[in-house]
Structure 1
Amino acid sequence: MLVPHTLFRAADRLAEPLRLLDKPFDERELIETARRRAGSRQAATDDVLEPLGRWLTSLATEARLSVFGRISARWDALRLLANLLRFREEERQDPAIAELPVPSPIFITGLPRSGTTFLHSLFAEDPGNRVPRCWQTIYPYPLAGEAPTDTARRRQLVDRQFRTFARLAPELLSVHPLSADVPQECSEITAHVFQSLRFDTTHTVPSYTAWLDRVGHLEAYHFHKRFLQHLQHQYGTGPWVLKCPDHVFALDAIATVYPDARFVFVHRNPVRILASVARLTEILREPFTRRIDRLAIGRQVAERWLDGARRITDASTEGRFAPQQVSQVHYDRLIRDPLGTVSSLYRHFGMDLNEPAMERMRAFLAARPRGGYGNNEYRLEDFGLDPEGLREGFRGYTSYFGIATEARNLRATGQAAAAA
């Protein structure tokens, strides 16, 4: 099980003295390689030259990439570029793809580890809803030699890739679902145009993140809609239910691209989740880097989600969305009565929840106690974080939404990663 990890770490020790791991990437070479492999003459990827370059520069200068990290970054970039080229080719053959309507999508968001994945998974059990699956976000179109209706090969390939990654990060499976068929976060979609906070989670890339914060997310969400149109073109329409904590940093962009968007904000005590967020960040980064800095991770997740909580609060206090567009869900109620919570959301948004869909949700809950996660305990202090300081920092958010923060009102620490 640990052989791949051992081999890669041995390669790191050999490559580091030779300064091979911090060499600059060449974004133009990657674009040309992707075009050559696709047999494409189109300039479909030139518009991502700057964000791609920003990400690659930050990787080379700040991320302290491991051998596996460099291999993965190149593979990731080429895969994303290949998908962009395929999108352009499909649009050339059928321009109507870009005109497909994407009406009233639901965006589930909130602080990470607050139950958003759990809620998204319940919505995904209703066959009437559309959710982007992991395999669809990684390989949105058939591979070479694959029939348009054949998805088995892509599913198998993604599951094999996930198994490889799980060998390098074995704890991941206990804190986050990893399967080709589970619903995927939208950060994997926006990664295609290299404007995604997904990269900030898996790597230490502060200069890239600062650039992304400056330029905003509007272009990324224009592509986000385009991606959904391509999935609809292949698999049919239906109300989209989407999920990502990072949506809280792009609410204005979402409202611009999807004026009729609907939002579900899931709330949980931030002091209870940040150690889990920090540990998940550490787990995700470990295979890609030669050095983990727990204190830096702690500072990063605290600063990022203090900002995220402020944005969630501001969206509500400013009345940014019409009441019928928004619903607030508390984690405690979601865990105590998941089906009742989902039923109330369906009613709020005027959706029909039929008995077959309810039965599928019941089966999902029966098969996955605690949302399918292990009982994990993490300490804020391990990441240099002070519980009292965090409680004070998040006070505006927790007071406004009525979120309990005192220890006597909280359940066992082991729930930190449950139903994330």
Structure 2
Amino acid sequence: MQRLRFVDLWKRQPEILDEPIEAPIIIVGLPRSGTTFLQQLLAADERLRPIPFWENLAPLPAHDPAIRPPEDAPLIAQAEANVEGLRRTAPGLLALHQLGAEDPEEEIYLLGPAFATTVYEWVYMVPGFASWFAKADHRAGYRFFRQVLQTLQWMRGGRRRFLLKAPQHMEQLVPLLEAFPDAVVVETVRDPLTAASSLANLCCYGQRLRTERPDPLAAGVASEAIVSRLVQSYIRDRDLPFVDARFVTVPFADLMREPVALAERVLTAARLDLTDETRAEMQRYLDANEGKERAPVDYGPADFGIDIPRLRDRFQGYYARFGLSPDPKFAA
């Protein structure tokens, strides 16, 4: 239905597709590599426009979207109800991933109307969809996604630079950069084994929404396949000549140690100065989150049947590309 509403709006308001999308900042990186933290830190800069959770879930208002400005309050209230529902049914999920109705969120739901999202694979573990998604050409889907962003900008105004992020972009660099040829791509880097076990844990939480008996081993098989595909696709495409000059590398350890300095590096690459106001807002965000309770990481690859030596060998190109040493806590 959402796709049909977008297409109908574009037919009635063709000027939407002339909206400029200027040099978005797009964060790509494996799960648990700091993508959420970095996006929320950069969102302190008012010149940037992230996609909040509510807008991901319901980008179009209930009324005719051609009527501006849209009535967003009901959409925000519905997202708040969704978050509260998760808090009751899957509190551990919210402890793993900070989520609020108005918090910046990855655009996996906005990619849904284009059938270019990994939600059905990563969260719901639909094998048939996973097989199709891995083989499909998603260039049309990413072009559709660009048009969705043009629509959000047309409806809500502002023309700020979009601040996007999604791990799935790692395996879609070519479609991503064809859709956004002037993008600044920020790559967060961490041992992929951290991502594999974290994603398996997420898959288990997704199973808990549908069954009382999640299957950790099935989640491990799925996460191995997903992370391997992300890493191998990324290494394959990362050094293509037309993408090389637009990347900013952010090692996870450096981001945790000097977050504002790393954020400034990203802004500099995007030809933006770190203003005193933005620096102060970033520090307020850090202070507000300091000491905030986080879910303890009490799981590891072995809990999901993940074969550490096999993945170590599979990820050698990634380790070499970014000068990473395998995390010693994942001893074979």
Give CA deviations for 1:297-333 in whole Å, capped at 9, x if unaligned.
111111221221122223334444142x111110000
* Contact persistence 2:216–2:303 (CA under 8 A): yes
TM-superposed CA distance for 1:86, in Å, is: 2.9
- Residue-by-residue CA offset, 1:161-197 (whole Å, 9 max, x unaligned): 2211332212111101221111121211111233311
In the alignment, structure 1 residue 233 sits paired with structure 2 residue 154? yes
Checking the alignment, whether the CA contact within 8 Å between 1:98 and 1:226 is kept in structure 2 is yes
Please, which of 256, 270, 286 is the counterpart of residue 192 of structure 2? 270
* TM-score, structure 2 normalization: 0.91
Aligned partner of 2:231 in structure 1 is 309
Larger Rg: 1
Choose which of 158, 161, 169 in structure 2 pairs with 1:247.
169
Query: Secondary structure of the residue that 1:288 maps to in structure 2?
Result: coil
Alignment deviations for residues 226-245 of structure 1 (CA, whole Å, 9 cap, x no partner): 11011101222111111000
Moved more, 142-151 or 329-338: 142-151
Structure 2, unaligned runs of 5 or more: none
C-alpha separation in 2, matches of 1:119 and 1:370: 17
The corresponding residue for 2:326 is 405
Identity level (%): 28
Return the alpha-carbon distance in structure 2 between the equivalents of residues 371 and 228 of structure 1. Answer: 33
Residue by residue over 1:54-81, the C-alpha shift from the partner in whole angstroms, topping out at 9 and shown as x without a partner, is xxxxxxxxxxxxxxxxxxxxxxxxxxx1
* Aligned partner letter, 1:333: D
The within-5 A match list for 1:318-329 is: 318-323=240-245, 325-329=246-250
Residue 112 (structure 2) aligns with: 191
1:104 has 2:45 as partner? no
Closer, same or farther in 2 for the Cα pair 1:371/1:98, shift >3 Å? farther
Q: Distance in 2 between matches of 1:219 and 1:262?
A: 21
Contact 1:135–1:180 under 8 Å retained in 2:
yes
In 2, Cα distance between equivalents of 1:213 and 1:380: 23
Q: 1:98 and 1:317 mapped to 2: Cα distance?
A: 31
Is it true that 1:157 corresponds to 2:78 in the alignment?
yes
Higher helix share goes to which structure? 1
Contact 1:203 1:289 in 2 (8 A): no
TM-score w.r.t. length of structure 1: 0.73
Mapped pair 1:261 → 2:261: no
How far off is 1:201 after superposition?
1.4
Equivalent in 166, 175, 180 of residue 101 of structure 2: 180
Equivalences for residues 19-418 of structure 1 within 5 A: 81=1, 83-144=2-63, 148=69, 150-236=71-157, 237-289=159-211, 291-323=213-245, 325-369=246-290, 373-407=294-328
Contact kept? 2:184, 2:269, Cα under 8 Å? no
What is the RMSD computed on CA atoms of the aligned residues? 2.3
Tell me the distance in 2 between the aligned counterparts of 1:329 and 1:371: 23
Tell me the matched-pair count: 328
Q: 1:400 to 1:119 in 2, by over 3 A?
A: same
For the Cα contact (< 8 Å) 1:121–1:183, is it kept in 2? yes
